């Protein structure tokens, strides 16, 4: 059920800390995995703002003015969703990240972002996303939009700062 206060917007330089906090909370709610030995301590270093050059991230958004590719969903001043997408040189679309803050899971944030992504990449021959293999909620979400798991594609996984690896799978949506 979509909240009528949720608004799609382009990410801006002053969103850097809010995006970082959203990603940290989403990762902590999703990626710890006892079986793989992945703990919160493996995840947290990636989001430690004391080790992240906030100014560099702000400069990135200042050099790359708001526009397609980096979106947020806002609820007032709060950033409750974030997405990074791009069109590859080979004409394929790639969702590089689509995240909702955990307190907004199931409230329409992902749907708002996905609709924007698919509209932006409507001329792509296919759109793909690499998803953590054990993130069943995300895989179900992507499949709802017509993505299919392609087990023929082997991905190296996402390497955390601590060296542990989040196993990934690729989901593909053919010609939109």
Which residue do the tokens 């995840």 mark? 43
Q: What range does the domain containing 90 cover?
A: 6-174
Q: How far apart are the first and last CA of the chain?
A: 25
Query: Does 69 reside within a domain?
Result: yes
Query: Does 13 reside within a domain?
Result: yes
Answer whether 139's CB lies under 8 Å from 24's CB: no
At 105 the pLDDT is 94
At 22 the pLDDT is 95
In the chain, how many domains are there?
Answer: 1
Query: Does 38 reside within a domain?
Result: yes
Query: Does 148 reside within a domain?
Result: yes
Query: Does 142 reside within a domain?
Result: yes
Within 13 Å of residue 109, how many CA atoms lie on the same side as its CB? 24
Query: Does 32 reside within a domain?
Result: yes
pLDDT, tens digit, 9 for 90 and up, residues 42-61: 999 888 766 556 666 666 66
Residue 65, beta-bridge partner list: none
The parts of the chain modelled with pLDDT lower than 70 are: 1-3, 49-68, 176
At 174 the pLDDT is 92
Angle among Cα 126, 127, 132 to the nearest 5 degrees reads 140
At 137 the pLDDT is 95
At 94 the pLDDT is 95
d(CA 156, CA 98) in angstroms, rounded, equals 20
Query: Does 92 reside within a domain?
Result: yes
- Ramachandran bin of 86, using left for φ above 0, alpha for ψ from -120 to 50, beta for the remaining angles: beta
At 19 the pLDDT is 92
H or E, element range at 109: helix 109-120
At 16 the pLDDT is 85
Query: Does 1 reside within a domain?
Result: no
Q: Provide the CATH number for the domain around residue 42.
A: 3.40.630.30
At 122 the pLDDT is 93
């Amino acid at each position: 059920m979509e909240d009528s206060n949720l608004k799609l917007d382009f990410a801006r330089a002053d969103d850097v800390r809010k995006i970082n906090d959203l990603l940290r909370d989403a990762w902590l709610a999703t990626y710890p995995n006892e079986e793989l030995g992945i703990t919160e301590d493996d995840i947290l270093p990636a989001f430690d703002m004391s080790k992240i050059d906030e100014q560099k991230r702000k400069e990135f958004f200042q050099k790359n003015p708001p526009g397609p590719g980096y979106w947020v969903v806002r609820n007032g001043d709060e950033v409750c969703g974030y997405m990074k997408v791009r069109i590859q040189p080979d004409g394929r679309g790639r969702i590089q990240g689509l995240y909702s803050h955990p307190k907004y899971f199931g409230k329409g944030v992902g749907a708002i972002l996905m609709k924007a992504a698919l509209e932006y990449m409507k001329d792509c021959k296919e759109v793909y996303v690499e998803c953590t293999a054990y993130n069943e909620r995300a895989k179900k979400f992507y499949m709802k939009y017509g993505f299919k798991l392609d087990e023929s594609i082997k991905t190296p996984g996402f390497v955390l700062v601590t060296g542990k690896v989040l196993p990934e799978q690729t989901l593909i949506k053919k010609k939109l």
